[in-house]
């Protein structure tokens, strides 16, 4: 692993070298490959998924991705006749077409079907209804954490799943369900609508501020909104995408040395979900350490000034419920089986050896602390690119070995690695990276 390399800039240079073949492809060839892979993925989902919601998305999205692949190949054959600015506009237009067909249209259909069909649970994932219930609780000045010691004080809709009574997020996530407490139509108050709006706005802000080439900005947007790793979650559940968008904005603000706003943004992301903590905490602790004392103070104040007032009151008010919902349930230690049970290494081990579950959680925590703690001591991250790359390895380790996880959580390391490569190429380049820059130009 490149985590323990000591030479300054070596991690970023490795990221540049790894990503160079991807960005060395001509634009339309890369787009055609991405949309072709997306077509295959959506077809597999459409024909093999056990969830009607996923199958419906796959059927709708496959037509869009197939059309986009064909259009990208056609445009590639005509690229010599067009100016560079025209080529980029065509790529943006093609991406916008895919967003419409693979994200917005399926989202509108699913939200509408949820409000008009006899069984709305066929058209929404449980986490959406859980977030909406929490939003209603917060809007009514109630505690969203109800499940304690195996007994629930929450009455839920009759979907037959005990895990839906949990709210396994940090308190700020309830904001996305706040609209459901109003009298507006259900098509508007669906939490997925808020997920999409926040993700789009924050991503646009991040890319507008980012100091990197247009090609790399478009690649980041494709991974967040256009390709299945972004479009599918936003249509079906979507709570991870606003977290990712905020983390991207935070890294961009760090890149631009806007310490106080970066701390605030990282605090918001960290108050949504623990999956935000690798990048948020690493940024506050290590990037700030390379800045003047005033900068460190600003980033720390921004982070803690947002995180503490949002999280601490709920943790203090009903600590047992908070721990069981936010910590024990995601780790599979609450006595209730989580739906996040993809057949990855960690889930396979605890399924094979159920009596080893608690000891296994402690073991992987110690291994993770030892492995990444050693890396932090030897080569602490000093910029946004290094933080993103290290967080990518942390997220990959967590997703693979966690006892309760989803394959979909791979969206975190995949985006983190891409951001690390893009940020590494946009600043702080090692001296021997000049050859790589000729490809980008």
Pick the more confident residue, 293 or 260. 260
pLDDT at 368 over 90: no
pLDDT of residue 310: 95
Output the pLDDT for position 404.
63
Mean pLDDT of the chain: 82
Q: What is the pLDDT of residue 9?
A: 56
Measured CA to CA in angstroms, residue 48 lies from 44, 53, 54, 111, 411 at distances of 6, 12, 9, 22, 21
Residues 21-31: pLDDT tens digits? 766 778 888 99
Residue with the bigger pLDDT between 192 and 380: it is 192
- Of the segments 148-152, 155-159, 241-245, 358-362, which one has the largest average pLDDT value? 241-245
pLDDT tens digits for range 14-23: 666 666 676 6
- With bands split at pLDDT 50, 70 and 90, how would you rate the model's confidence at 357? low
As a whole number, mean pLDDT of residues 172-194 equals 90
Across the range 178-182, mean pLDDT stands at 88
Q: How confident is the model over 314-345, as pLDDT tens digits?
A: 999 888 888 888 887 777 665 555 555 555 56
Window from 17-26, 84-93, 368-377 with minimum mean pLDDT: 17-26
Q: Residue 148 burial (CB < 10 Å; 0-12/13-18/19+)?
A: middle
Instruction: State the pLDDT confidence band at 181, using cuts at 50, 70 and 90.
Output: confident
Q: Which run of H or E residues covers position 147?
A: strand 147-148
Average pLDDT over residues 8-12: 54
pLDDT of 11 strictly over 90: no
284 vs 432, higher pLDDT: 284
CA distance 395 to 390: 9
- For tokens 């940020």, name the residue: 423
Q: Per-residue confidence at 394, pLDDT binned at 50, 70, 90?
A: confident
428 pLDDT band, cuts 50/70/90, is very low
For residue 94, give the nearest of 24, 23, 34, 21 by alpha carbon: 34
Show the tokens assigned to 269: 């992301």
Task: Please determine, for residue 267, whether its predicted confidence score (pLDDT) is greater than 50.
Answer: yes
Is the pLDDT at 415 greater than 90, yes or no?
Answer: yes
> Among the ranges 145-149, 204-208, 322-326, which has the highest mean pLDDT value?
204-208
Q: Give percent above pLDDT 90 in the chain.
A: 40
Q: What would the two tokens of residue 282 be?
A: 């690493």
Decide if pLDDT at 152 tops 80.
Answer: no
Q: Greater confidence, 289 or 353?
A: 289
Spell 158-179 as b/e; 16+ CB within 10 A means b. Answer: eeeeebbbbbbbbbbbbbbbbb
Mean pLDDT calculated for residue range 198-227: 94
Lowest mean pLDDT among 182-191, 206-215, 333-342: 333-342
The whole-number pLDDT of residue 291 equals: 78
């Amino acid at each position: 692993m490149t985590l323990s390399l000591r030479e300054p800039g070596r991690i970023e240079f490795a990221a540049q070298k790894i990503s160079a073949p991807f960005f060395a492809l001509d634009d339309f060839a890369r787009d055609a490959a991405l949309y072709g892979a997306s077509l295959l993925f959506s077809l597999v989902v459409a024909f093999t998924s056990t969830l009607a919601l996923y199958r419906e998305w796959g059927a709708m999205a496959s037509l869009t991705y197939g059309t986009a692949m064909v259009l990208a190949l056609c445009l590639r054959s005509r690229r010599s006749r067009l100016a560079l600015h025209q080529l980029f506009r065509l790529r943006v237009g093609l991406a916008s077409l895919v967003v419409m067909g693979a994200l917005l249209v399926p989202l509108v259909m699913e939200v509408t079907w949820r409000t008009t069909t006899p069984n709305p649970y066929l058209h929404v994932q449980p986490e959406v209804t859980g977030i909406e219930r929490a939003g209603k609780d917060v809007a009514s000045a109630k505690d969203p954490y109800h499940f304690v010691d195996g007994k629930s004080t929450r009455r839920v809709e009759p979907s037959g799943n005990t895990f839906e009574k949990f709210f396994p997020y940090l308190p700020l996530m309830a904001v996305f369900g706040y609209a459901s407490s109003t009298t507006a139509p259900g098509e508007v108050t669906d939490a997925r609508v808020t997920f999409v709006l926040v993700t789009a706005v924050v991503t646009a802000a991040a890319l507008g501020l980012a100091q990197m080439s247009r090609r790399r900005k478009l690649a980041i947007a494709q991974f967040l909104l256009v390709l299945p790793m972004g479009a599918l979650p936003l249509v079906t559940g979507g709570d991870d995408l606003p977290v990712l968008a905020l983390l991207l904005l935070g890294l961009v603000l760090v890149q631009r040395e806007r310490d106080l706003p970066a701390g605030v943004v990282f605090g918001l992301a960290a108050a949504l979900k623990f999956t935000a903590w690798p990048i948020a905490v690493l940024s506050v602790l290590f990037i700030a350490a390379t800045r003047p004392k005033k900068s460190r103070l600003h980033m720390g104040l921004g982070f803690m000034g947002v995180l503490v007032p949002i999280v601490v009151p709920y943790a203090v008010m009903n600590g047992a419920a908070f721990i069981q919902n936010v910590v024990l349930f995601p780790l599979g230690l609450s006595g209730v089986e989580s739906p996040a049970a993809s057949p990855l290494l960690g889930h396979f081990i605890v399924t094979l050896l159920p009596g080893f579950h608690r000891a296994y959680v402690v073991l992987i925590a110690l291994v993770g602390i030892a492995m990444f703690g050693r890396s932090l001591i030897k080569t602490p991250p000093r910029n946004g690119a290094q933080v993103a790359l290290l967080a990518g390895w942390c997220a990959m380790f967590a997703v693979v070995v966690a006892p309760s996880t989803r394959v979909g959580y791979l969206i975190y390391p995949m985006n983190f690695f891409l951001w690390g490569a893009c940020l590494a190429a946009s600043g702080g380049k090692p001296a021997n990276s000049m050859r790589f820059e000729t490809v980008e130009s």
